[in-house]
Amino acid sequence: MHSITIFKNMPAKAFLLLVSALILFVSSAAADGIPGHDSPGESKSPETLDYVAIVNDKKIPLEEFQLNVDMVKNSYYEMGFRLEDQQLDELKKIILESLIEKELLLQESITMGIEIDPAAIETEIDTIRDNFPDAAGFEQRITEMGYTLDFLRREIGSNMTIEALIEQELASKVNVSDDAVQSFYNDKIESFRVPEQVKARHILVRHESGGREKIEEIMQAIKDGEDFEELANMHSDCPSGQNGGDLGYFSRGQMVEPFEKAAFSLEVGEVSDIVETRFGFHIIKVEDHQAEEIKTLEDVKDDVKDEIRRQEVASRLQPYIESLKQKYAVEIMLPEAQ
């Protein structure tokens, strides 16, 4: 199954919850076209349609369908892509199928007696809210997406319910043997190679905001024993200055050449001379230097188990949904989606 990704620079958990309306479950049939369902009734015309499908007597509103279509379409536009009519028609089929699959999973969750604690939903909303500078930014983003907080709350609840169902009915029944873990590790060993990395802080002074004269003053302050992190907080023109100049770990090829050359030549705890790049003047302090390595099986065993389990669940999910289509009646009311 595929997922439609529309938000960039957002933590995965927040993304998963926020894009519930795009649905986690988009049929793998999308690549070859989505097969229609048999519809026993006469389809309404789009002008009079107020719902697009019925799943076990539960109607999927036209408004919800259109919201999803508009969101995905707008996300493509934001990335500079324009959808042709044929692509838009295919997108509508994919979204409708995903809404049906979501409702099938929710219906089965009801049958299985799965309920989510409202407090857990509020915790997830708080987690998403924490990714924004303030509550106003969070609320603005919801509005831009065409959501309300109540709608978001319902969608989060639906996602959490589906996750619980999948965990109970699929993931919990997957057993991963030690032999499978060893085989996966051997086959993918290059993916466990970690390149040489350094962890560094820096102070940046742009050419236009003081240039060499200012960076030399900062360098003298460092030599006089002033704290590097505090100086970065006070003077750095890089956003990392707010965190004491912390750049985290990076490998070769991620920084501009003069910066990289200086950083990788320093000893741990050492401060560089002034380094000039196209961004301005830098002072770099290296806090850790790790040689290239291949992580051992023991280091990654839990991650490998999780990945094998994830792949196995993914392979079982579509057949599971197909079985639900046999269990619950599905009727499509949107003519062009059949």
Convert the pLDDT of each residue in 70-105 to its tens digit.
Answer: 888 888 887 888 888 898 899 999 999 999 999 999
Q: In sequence order, which ranges of the chain are alpha helices (DSSP H)?
A: 12-18, 62-78, 85-111, 118-129, 135-144, 149-169, 178-187, 211-223, 228-235, 257-265, 297-327
First-to-last C-alpha distance (Å) of the chain: 20
CATH class in words for 196-291: alpha beta
Q: What percent of the chain shows pLDDT beyond 90?
A: 66
The runs of H, that is alpha helices, within 209-296 are 211-223, 228-235, 257-265
**For residue 206, which amino acid is it?**
R
- Running DSSP on this structure, what letter comes out for residue 139? H
- Radius of gyration from C-alpha coordinates of the chain: 26
What does the domain layout of the chain look like in residue ranges?
Answer: 12-175+304-337, 196-291
pTM: 0.64
Mention the CATH class of domain 12-175+304-337: mainly alpha
Task: Give residue 34's pLDDT.
Answer: 30
Q: Hey, which residues does 59 pair with through a beta bridge?
A: 54
37 has pLDDT over 80? no
Lowest average pLDDT, out of 100-114, 132-146, 244-258, 259-273, goes to 132-146
DSSP 3-state of 204: strand
- 321 with 175: CB under 8 angstroms? no
Buried/exposed 22-38: b ≥16 CB within 10 Å, e otherwise: bbbbbbeebeeebeeee
pLDDT at 46 (0 to 100): 46
Cβ atoms of 260 and 163 within 8 Å: the answer is no
Question: What contacts 12, CB < 8 A, 6 or more positions away?
Answer: none
Helix pair angle (178-187, 297-327), 10° resolution: 110
Q: What pLDDT shows up at residue 142?
A: 85
Tell me what pLDDT residue 175 has: 95
Nearest Cα neighbor of 188 from 322, 57, 294 is: 294
